Amino acid sequence: MSVHEWRLLGDKTLSGIARELQALLSADSLGGRVVEAGFDSWRRELFDPESETRRVDDATWIFLLSPRVLERPRVSEELEELLALLQSLSRRIFFGTFFADSLVPRPLTNSLSPELLAARLNLRLAEFAKSRAQFFLLDQAGLVAREGLRALSDPRFEALAQMFYSPAGARSVARLVFRAVRALQRPSAKVLALDLDNTLWGGILGEDGSDGLAMGPTDRGYSYRRFQEAVLTLKREGVLLVAVSKNDSDAALEVLRTHPDCLVKPEDFAALEIHWQPKSESLRRISEKLGLGLDSFVFLDDSPNEREEMRRVLPEVTVLDFPTDPAGLVALLADTSAFDTLQVTEEDRKRTDDYRAQSQRENLRHAAPSLEEFYRSMQTRLELFRAEAGSAERLHQLVLKTNQFNLSSERLTPDTFRALMLDPAVDVWGLRVGDRLGDSGVTGLAIVRKSADVWRVENFLLSCRVIGRTVEFGFLRWLTERARAGGTQSLDFVFRATSKNRVAREFLEKSTLVANADQVSWRVDLTTDALAGLPPHFVEISEGAAT
């Protein structure tokens, strides 16, 4: 079996970055071999069909260009030529953004031409990324702006070995690439659990009163205000916010609702646990309410005692160390890799609204005369669609992130997933769910390998947001009826038990499926009346497009 390559391409020598990146990948048990393609490889290797870079199939290309490329007279045309080539190749690519060398002889009269050129090229890269699912930008320019060019580069190394980055710079760039590689292979955290006193705002409500809290745009409150802005940015990009505070609930909610300087409002939180009970108990309850595993939570609290209690009682939760100065709160969020993701989908952006709708559903469920009447009143809709290029990003995200209702729990690579989409013997189906309270978006997936006698469901998963609405049974029945219409004799579901997918096994048992002798798959025998034994569903099913 070949080893995946992470191949570095640039205009300078990247051996220092390659060594640092390989060490980071090995230390974190991430697979693959880092290969430097050589000096000035970014065009030479790509435009030669016989080059080693072009010959290796199992590789991700990582472009890291120095600011010297901006001095090339045809750099804009060269980038267009490169993008045209990349458009024709089925490759996963990371591309570092362009940046200018700010060390110029007359900085007061600098025309900023290199900076403007870098900005134009970066806009072009962003446009290209929108139309290509496997093209990801690395914010190399942002790294240089944050850490400073003098801290990252050394002209002596460039003179001696054509290495633009110094050893310290190579470590910083390698960490940037490493975070992207890890985000590609591991799901990001979904929830940020926040304390209130001296975390979301400065001061203690019970001691300082509402008027004494600091979160305004100046003086002591400025750092907390900047932190609230950062927290809301995470929320807009799909991270759920929950409040976990030892406080008087009514007083704290009043601050969130009415304080003139408080930017974060009660409706920004997917859950609020404000009382005097242990915070570990609060997080456990929130985890059950949201249907999310504790390993998808990040906890932030100024109290060392609360952080230690959380680490001891709930070791699955990621607990961040609080900065010594609140001015470091935004940097803390920037430095943690817990929320790293390479793409933000429309489903991500509306996640908080969807969980708020889920809370409404729970209230309606408890108020309904019967469970069946509740299901019928929700007017739930399922729309099945064949996976295509436009939906591949979201569907693959489900493969990486779904834990509880995931029968196989197989984390397919992007290349493997796209190959399955193109395989004529395989059907990849996506599922969109909506009801009278709103559209939950693309929240389900089935990958079916078909033969004459058996349709083998290699992946079958649903987002936890739609479990318990009979969606799973509607999806199962639709797939079973489709298999029977296709003339096959059985529908087999691959199942691999993990510590997180107990819900998936319960679904198989409730559906009266029978485990095969291999103990890896569960079967619906289509030569019998097995469909009559499937649980009922209360959803309207249709077939359509992904959008």
Hey, where are the domains in the chain?
Answer: 5-185, 191-335, 365-543
| Long-range pairs for 213-216: beta carbons < 8 A, 24 or more residues apart | 213/255, 213/259, 213/261, 215/259, 215/261, 215/262, 215/263, 216/261
DSSP annotation string for 215-236: -SSSGGGHHHHHHHHHHHHHHH
Are 194 and 200 spatial neighbours (Cβ–Cβ below 8 Å)? yes
pLDDT score at 372: 86
Q: Which CATH superfamily groups domain 191-335? A: HAD superfamily/HAD-like (3.40.50.1000)
**Cα dist from 264 to 53, 234, 323, 326, 516, whole Å:** 49, 12, 21, 17, 52
Q: What's the token pair of residue 114?
A: 């290199």
pLDDT at residue 358 in the model: 75
Domains 5-185 and 365-543 share a fold: no
Buried b (16+ CB within 10 A) or exposed e, 452-464: eebbbbbbbbbbb
Q: How far apart are CA 66 and CA 53, in angstroms?
A: 20
pTM of the model: 0.77
Parts of the chain with a pLDDT under 50: none
Taking the CB of residue 293, how many other CB atoms lie within 10 A of it?
Answer: 18
Say which CATH topology domain 5-185 has. Answer: Rossmann fold (3.40.50)
Overall CATH class of domain 365-543: alpha beta
| pLDDT reported for residue 545 | 64
Alpha-carbon torsion (344, 349, 352, 353), positive or negative: negative
Please give the pLDDT value at position 416: 84
Alpha carbon 357 to its chain's center: 22
